[in-house]
Structure 1
Amino acid sequence: MSDSGPSTPPSPDEKPAKVQFNDNFAGKLILPTEEEIQNDPYRRRASSRRVSRRMSKALAIADILEQERQYVIGDIIDLDTIVEADDIEEATTRTRRFSSVVAASRKSQASTKDWRELEEAGDESSGEDEDYLIEWEGPEDPKNPYNWSKLYRFFCLFTVSMQGFCVAFYSSSYTAGIPGMMAEFGITNRTITVLGVSAYLFGMGVAPLILAPLSEMYGRRIVYIIGMASFTIFIIPACVAKNIQTIIIIRFLGAVSGSVGISNAPGTIADIYQSADERSKAFAVFAITAMNGPPLGTIIGGVLFRYLGWRSINYFSLIAAGIFFVAGFFVAETYGPHILREKARHRRLTTGDDKYFSRFDFPPATSLATLLRRNFKRPLKMLFTEAICLAWALYLSVIYALLYMSFIAYPVVFMGLRGWEPQIAGLGFVGILIGTSAGVATDPLSRWGVRRHKVDPETGKIPPEALIWFACVGAVLASIGLWIFAWTCDPGIVKPWVFCILAGIPYGLGTTVVFTNGWNYLLSSYSIYAASAMAGNAISRSFLGGILPLFAPKMYSNLSPAIASTILATLATALMPIPFIFYFWGKHFRERSPMLLALAAQSGI
């Protein structure tokens, strides 16, 4: 297994190391030889359906590799740590020569004696297949998103980032209006209203597994438009709801559709920015909006609730979502494979010749159901069988849950104990807001630390574990922030309020760097399976993040806020060693990972 990670530049006389695919893996991507066919009576009697099915399987393998590479690039923060694009391209190229065979088998019945003729027709060396291959029209093709103007690409980036901000903002702004909903609907149990937060997080956990294959088959633009349209529409019932049950159900549906603004945005960044430096800067723009959405939601929501009532929070979100939904109509399709597929389809329609194809065309047997099964099966399998995935899912899920528990705890502390007005109590989240912003800004420091690590002599690259050195720092800072808040939140213990606000700075900073560097480690470790590793992490994070906040009202009412917060700080501290364990012994876990061993055995990666 090649360790992904920023590597030192090769010397002029030294060629960069390249991944080699062994013969066993290559054999899975090609058709049986003529000798195999002649020696096997069953194969001699094989119909064109069997031939097409074998070729479809080969193309599907290469397509999965290509699509996984797209997701990895889309989700990654340190883009230098992934497997090189040429490595995946090699696997894809191995099967391109069979594309014309698949096209021919769609309408005609090919006998086994046509194998050799069809194979030669599909061989790149013949040159015939290339005449029908649809690709970019040169390096400066205006339809290639990489060639769009800088201004338009920034508009696309800003639009999808703000769509993600609207979704993140709506997730937490709801908590600012909980007192108003309890008063209007006659609710005495605060846990019932907290279900609105949990339902939202559950929706955000399920949705990416559905949205990923949808964007893979139909392109990003249509998924954005439908998703944001549904998200905007689902806010309307919350504006006029007559009971809490309606709000809870609508928030779940809104999260399922609206999470497209968060789950697909990193992929869009990869679509329109080519260099690692550009992508890093673009991801910083997206991260600022995504990470600051929750704390800003509570701050702005508190002001809106105080002066205009709890329904105004929903109306504000409706207006913001509507604005950026309309702006999304001016964002063209950015997903290169889909653009080329549509270009090939258009050429077939205009010429009447079915031979035209793109190398991103799906095999005839591929369906949305197939992609959905793959998106659900592999992430869950990795989550429960891979020690790396399981440990990081547990840690990141708890940190994520604690963040959303703070949206319940802060109002109790600042309004209940300290007697602040709602519009002022929201300012308690300023510390977290400053911390999350600082966490995004520390990315250059994190990269500097990675470059100072020694190169692994076995791979010639810096090991993935170098990526989590700053996550270790973040784990300590997050725990420190929670302990400071626990010991200063009660005015009976520490009267000045400034200390519990300042506690949010190390907590927000630590949480942000733990997330960004922890994700980066998963992406780097699992190469082409990184998207599945991230999907499993998202499932556990959203579900645990939705469950734990349900206990917050009882904890803070039955226990004192100081004791409840101490319990949470203890939990974070107990799990704090996880980043350190993987920093020092991560290679040990990777070398014993069933999936990584299988990947190395099959592909030599």
Structure 2
Amino acid sequence: MATSDSQSDTTDNLTRLEKAQIPEDLKEETGVDIVPTSDLEASAGSRTSDDEVPDPFLVDWDGPKDPNSPMNWSNTKKARQLIAMGFNSFLSPDANLEAEIRPLSSSMFAPGEADVLAEFNSSNTMLGSFVVSIFLLGYSVGPLLIAPLAEIYGRLPAYHICNSLFLVFMIACAVSQTLPQLLVFRFLAGVAGSCPVALGSGTAVDLIRKEKRAGVMAIWALGPIMGPVVGPLAGSFVCANIGWRWVFWILTIAAGVMLVTTFLCYRETYAPVLLERKALALRKETGNEQYRSKFDRNLPRKQVFYMACVRPLKLLFLSPIVLCMTVFGGISYGYLYLMFTTITAIFEEVYHWPSEMTGLAYLGFGVGCVSGLIVTGQVANKVAVKHSAQGRFLPESRLGPIVVSCWLLPIGLFWYGWSAEKHIHWIMPLIGTAIFGCGLMSLFLCINTYLVESYIQFAASVTAANAVMRSLLGAFLPLAGPSMYETLGLGWGNSLLAFIALAFCFVAVLLKMYGGKIRTHPRFQLDL
């Protein structure tokens, strides 16, 4: 009997030892509930059991406190990069296109869009809307190119090259002589401008531990979301007073400042690239070609490039978790632009605001976004700290806020649509957009953090998959807006959107409950 108890204790001890040796990334992928000794991102290297001989030529960080690991950089160095990244993500995204050319209802155009069509002798309203949407089409193509290249060559070259090209294409937009030229250059600007959205989550993962990651990602996410709010506010004055071309020149000046700032502040943060550089230095120093990064799969370069290129598409279409989350986020993002197709017309025609002041109507959405940012960031960080301390942190820990905040989307849509339909005081539709903005910001943040926690080593690829779906739906859904609102009206048109959002709210609850089982199911494990 004593022998049996002894064997049982030995087995338990071995089981605990084996679990303790599972790296953090595998723990999060498999769902093993153990108390983490450290983050994957700051791990001291590959742990081995006592009977295994470590590979002396496998290059890793020099312990968990290696100062060369981005996770261990000083707070000042991290803050410098993150603040610059926030500016980068605010300027480059589709925020600026809403500033210069705002889509309206089918009955009228915004000053900027009308000026563009008049200058190029066009009366095609579909082309007017496409001038807006084509930037987002660039956003759907860019991440598929940028994310794979960044995971091979590093995030830093991708940032610098794309920011430089963004500046060039902004100038090209400003001097366009025909409408096709403007469309092409705006598309290329969208491709280059998608870089901070494609790589921002990955950069945050490189630098910040999971207990504080949600708050940092919330600040980064504010750029892509708040841009469409600040854009119309500034664009309504610029287009009405000095013309649509000056919007591009102002953006060019800002892009130049951004380019200089990022060259001064950005450093490479992607661990596989940094460790490969370390291995290369050791090979040169010692003359021994056996040194290799711990992330090196020992595959031909051509195969590595192919795998990197198809990785975002595999994640998007072969992972049910990624597909559900990206579709939910993409539809919600499309709702944002559908809502924006009516805001200007409502406040000009119903509430008789002058065209220069209609940009203020977007402030309700901005207030909601900031509120969602603050609340969701704080709640998500507290949950991460609590679950980590209890040894049960999983990617699904990031979905807590979404179970509550997702209901704000249909509520905001109902509120905004019917208050505008019934011509209630102007503050009421603004409150509706604020409620919607709060829910959208929380949703945006939870989806991003959940996806990067689920595929932490390939954060850029999974973020690219998310950006592609979001940009495609954001580009095409608004094209249906004018005809939908003309047929159904503002009340029932927004109600239709709200009912669809309600269905996705139940999907979010189910993913919170069963997402872990689906994510770790052997059938859905991908060879990335």
Q: TM-score, normalised by structure 1?
A: 0.71
What does residue range 532-571 of structure 1 map to in structure 2 within 5 Å? 534-556=463-485, 558-559=486-487, 563-564=489-490, 566-571=492-497
CA displacement 1:313-365 (0-9 Å, x = unmatched): 11121111111111111222222321221232234335544233332345241
**Residues 542 and 444 of structure 1, relative CA distance in 2, 3 Å threshold:** closer
Q: Write the distance in 2 (CA, Å) between the matches of 1:155 and 1:391.
A: 35
SS at match of 2:521: helix
Bigger shift: 441-450 or 412-421?
Answer: 441-450
Give the equivalent residue in structure 1 for 2:105: none
**2:428 alignment counterpart:** 499
Which of 74, 78, 84 lines up with 1:149 in the alignment?
A: 74
Q: CA deviation at 1:488?
A: 2.5
1:190 has 2:119 as partner: no
Match of 2:343 in 1: 410
- 2:366 corresponds in structure 1 to 433
Q: Does structure 2 conserve the Cα–Cα contact (< 8 Å) formed by 1:393 and 1:537?
A: yes
Alignment of 1:334-345 (within 5 A): 334-345=269-280
Percent identical among aligned pairs is: 27
Distance (Å, rounded) in 1 between the aligned partners of 2:278 and 2:424 = 67
User: Residue 109 of structure 1 corresponds to which residue in structure 2?
Assistant: none
Give the conservation status (yes or no) of the 8 Å contact 2:330–2:471.
yes
Query: 1 CA distance for matches of 2:247 and 2:366?
Result: 19
* C-alpha distance in structure 1 between counterparts of 2:526 and 2:165, whole Å: 44
1:182-233 superposed Cα distances (whole Å, 9 cap, x missing partner): 2322332322121122222122122222222211111111111001111111
Q: Output the CA distance in 2 between the equivalents of 1:91 and 1:597.
A: 27
Whether the 8 Å CA contact 2:380–2:400 is kept in 1: the answer is no
Change (3 A) 1:416 1:530: same
**Would the aligned equivalents of 2:198 and 2:463 in 1 still touch at CA under 8 Å?**
no
Does residue 221 of the first structure (1) align with residue 156 of the second (2)? yes
CA deviation string 1:210-262 (max 9, x = no partner): 22221111111111100111111111111111222222221111111121112
Letter in 1 for 2:446: N
- 8 Å contact from structure 1 (residues 234, 251) kept in 2: yes
Change (3 A) 1:150 1:472: closer
Matches of 2:157 and 2:393, distance apart in 1 = 39
Q: 1:514 aligns with which of 433, 443, 468?
A: 443
Letter in 1 for 2:306: T
Residue 18 of structure 1 is matched in structure 2 by 19
2:178 pairs with one of 218, 221, 243: 243
State the Cα distance separating 1:484 from its structure 2 match: 2.0
Give, in whole Å, the separation in 1 of the partners of 2:484 and 2:309: 39
Does the CA contact (< 8 Å) of 1:469 and 1:583 recur in 2? no
Paired residues of 2:317 and 2:323 also in contact (CA < 8 A): no
Gap runs ≥5 in structure 1: 1-13, 22-61, 73-79, 95-122
Answer yes or no: is 1:180 the counterpart of 2:181. Answer: no
1:443 is aligned to 2:376: yes
- 1:42: which partner in 2? none
CA distance in 2, matches of 1:463, 1:600: 16
Counterpart AA for 2:307:
L
Structure 2 match to 1:488: 419
Indicate if the aligned counterparts of 2:407 and 2:505 stay in contact, CA closer than 8 A.
no
- Are the equivalent residues in 1 in contact too, given 2:44–2:61 (CA < 8 A)? no
| Alpha-carbon spacing, 1:396–1:270, altered in 2? closer, same or farther (3 Å) | closer
Over 3 Å counting, the alpha-carbon distance change for 1:138 and 1:167 in structure 2 is same
Seen in structure 2, the aligned counterparts of structure 1 residues 570 and 242 have a Cα distance that, compared at 3 Å, is: same
Report how far residue 535 of structure 1 moved: 4.3
Measured after TM superposition, the shift of residue 417 of structure 1 is: 4.0
Change (3 A) 1:516 1:238: same
SS of aligned partner of 1:348: helix
Pairwise CA distance, 1:86: 5.6
SS of equivalent residue, structure 1 residue 165: helix
Change (3 A) 1:270 1:447: closer
Distance 1:285 1:463 in 2: 22
| 1:424 counterpart letter in structure 2 | M
Aligned-residue RMSD, C-alpha: 4.0
Equivalent residue pairs, number: 495
In structure 1, the partner of 2:107 is: none
Deviations 1:292-333 (A, max 9, x none): 122111111112212221111111211111111111112222
Deviation at 1:462, TM superposition (A): 6.9
CA pair 89-599 structure 1, distance change in 2 beyond 3 A? farther
CA 1:15–1:307 in 2, change beyond 3 Å: closer, same or farther? farther
Q: Structure 2 matches for 1:178-327, cutoff 5 A?
A: 178-273=113-208, 275-327=209-261
Report what 1:366 is aligned to. Answer: 301
**TM-score, structure 2 normalization:** 0.81
